Amino acid sequence: MDFKDKTVIVTGASSGIGEATVKAFIKRQANVLMVARSEDKLKELSDGVYSRYLALDLTDEKAAEKIVGEATIEWERIDIVVNAAGILQTGSIMNTSLEDFDYMMNINMRSVFSIMQTAIPFLKETKGNIVNVSSVVGLRAFPNILSYCVSKAALDHLTRCSALELAPFGIRVNAVNPGVITTNLHKASGMDEKSYENFLEHSKTTHPLGRVGEPEEVAELILFLASDKAGWITGETVSIDGGRFLTCLR
């Protein structure tokens, strides 16, 4: 998987799957634009490596324009876009506020749509590709995380529909659908340290392979889908979940 001199945009770059993906691309000599809200973490990641970073909130109406502009000003091309940014909020159909629902959709779906759309002219030139980070919840229903499930299901269909529409231009679009991964996603949603430890322990029983996943495992799948080795793969939502998709365990 050779990415030397390829220009890659990664959102959600400051932690979890996004951070692991950034490190994997840099290791393979790609030019990486790291995007996240935490400027301190982005500075840390960019220290000593040839890359650029952009600290911003993806709900900014100009976010996609700024991201694509930053990449093309620096490297004059875009080869790969990885949409790894995402948030998780709990709530059911009975108690999720419209404001919370909209915020979830804005981060997990609307921002992805906007970045993809804005990058298309440059991806046409390189016959590049897009990898979206979805979730097992895009494929399976789970209670009390309704808006998160809906946002990821929508992201999966955005992946499939756009793959059909962009195929004539040689642009591929795929998604990965992880199970539980050891990231700060759940703690950022409000779960305390002890509850998170209990959640990870319980999750060993809900994944048939008997463990949760690591960000680096998902990053390697992302790199494969972004590589020439996956040149005939598009419109796929690829599960990487220790078999959780096969069950209804909760």
Could you give the residue numbers annotated as active site?
Answer: 148
Burial of 88 (0-12, 13-18, 19+ CB in 10 A): buried
**Where does 32-97 have alpha helices with state H?**
39-46, 63-75
Of 85, 158, 141, 83, the closest CA to residue 115 belongs to: 83
Q: Which DSSP symbol is given to 145?
A: B
Q: Which residue has the tokens 């795929």?
A: 174
Four-residue CA torsion sign, 5, 117, 63, 14: negative
Round to whole Å and give the CA distance between 142 and 114: 27
